[in-house]
Structure 1
Amino acid sequence: MLTSEGTMQMASESIALGLSGLRIFPGDHICVFYPTRADRDAVVLPYLRQGLDAGHMCVGTMDSADAEGLLDTLRSQVDVPSALDRHQLEMYTSAESILRGAPFSAQTVLDFWERNIDKAQQAGFGFTRMVGEMEWALRQMPGVEALVGYEAALNQVVQRSPMVGLCLYELDQFGGDVLVDVLKTHPKMLIGGTVLDNPYYLQPDELHTLRQ
């Protein structure tokens, strides 16, 4: 399946995020902090809708109990059954996709995303949009070190692949110290309806040195 924006997005070509004319670039790994699930949906729904309209594969892992409600809302905007049937849209709960009842393993989660990137390319989708709700980390990760290490490694996966990724953090669920560390692993952040270069971002080797 060829996308309307090309079978392979080049690093210099921006794509529509889906929000108010915002543009993002292949390889962007964006941190999204939101106060309420309504704010989450105001980002995720247009992001997915824009991707489906552009012919991108869209893969999401949702952790909250209302994830099915998000899909129901999306059904009112695009042909979700058709997208699911042709595997252009893949939505999972964290329990069934990246955790599967096992202790947290960063490599297991990274393997999940890389399998989906490979699946998208094999199916003819030239580009992948990833979105992940991160509340599962509160229950499964042994500490902030594991979360920061995972996000830093995911950043490398996203940057070398024809994709973009949004990591979703509900502000009330995470402590300020965790959010500060998470911010350091994302080159960009979405705040107030604007995508910004993150001045607090550290390259993985810099982050590793800092945390030693």
Structure 2
Amino acid sequence: MWLGDGTRKSLRIAAVMTVGTGGNGVYVTPRNAPGATVDRVDVSLAVGADATAVAAGLRDAVRASGGHVLTKDQWTEASYPETNRTTRLGLLLVLGIALLYTGISLANTMVMATSDRVRDLAVLRLAGATSRQVLRLVGGEALMVVAVGGVLGLLVAALNLLGMWSALGFLSVWTSIQMPWAAIGTVLGACAVLAVVSAVAPAGLALRRGAVGSAGARE
């Protein structure tokens, strides 16, 4: 490695930290970094220590040098700014387009599937089922399709997140996996409503033509 003055020097690795400290930098002893100032000190509380008293003491100690005392969350927020507005808008735009085409595909699939089953629905009417019973059956099947799709989607997402979590683990970055359950529930609810409407609407129109005529129609 090269020191700050350009001198090349070979150093011995004394230890490798399992848990990172917020960066991938190399830490050297004061002897190998003359003139370097301390830019951060990590403090952990002993068992039973008063956090308020410790924070007050640290503020008094660093006041003369202009230092600041921050909690872990405050330091993270100050050191790692959030995603800028342009990046967030771009992500929302791509996500919106994907959701739009997903909705179109779902509605088209349900309409085509129901239209191809007009004869089957008419046979159910001739067998004694009422129109409401047939429509409830169609709506229930649409909800089942959305439920199965949601479960499969969660499994794929879980496998993907597990792979990324394992890869980060090899870098000694262990973190918790957080799922946006509110957003997932909203999307599943919207898909359920869209699927039911797209399936029940053509089924209702088909049942209005009469069961006998629909049962004898060619598919």
- TM-score bracket relative to the smaller structure: under 0.3
The alignment's TM-score, normalised by the length of structure 1, stands at 0.21
Asked which structure has the greater CA Rg, the reply is 2
The alignment's TM-score, normalised by the length of structure 2, stands at 0.21
Q: Which has the higher helix share?
A: 2
Q: Which has the higher strand share?
A: 1
